Amino acid sequence: AQSVAQPEDQVNVAEGNPLTVKCTYSVSGNPYLFWYVQYPNRGLQFLLKYITGDNLVKGSYGFEAEFNKSQTSFHLKKPSALVSDSALYFCAVRDGTGGFKTIFGAGTRLFVKA
Nearest to 10 by CA among 2, 18, 1, 19: 19
Tell me the window of 10-18, 61-69, 72-80, 100-108 that interacts with another protein (CB under 8 A). 100-108
Among 32, 72, 82, 86, binds another protein (CB under 8 A): 32
DSSP 8-state symbol, 72? T
State the nearest-atom distance from the C-beta of 64 to another protein, in Å.
17
Rg (CA), the chain: 14
Rank residues 100 and 114 by Cβ distance to another protein and give the closer one.
100
- Is there binding between residue 77 and another protein (CB under 8 A)? no
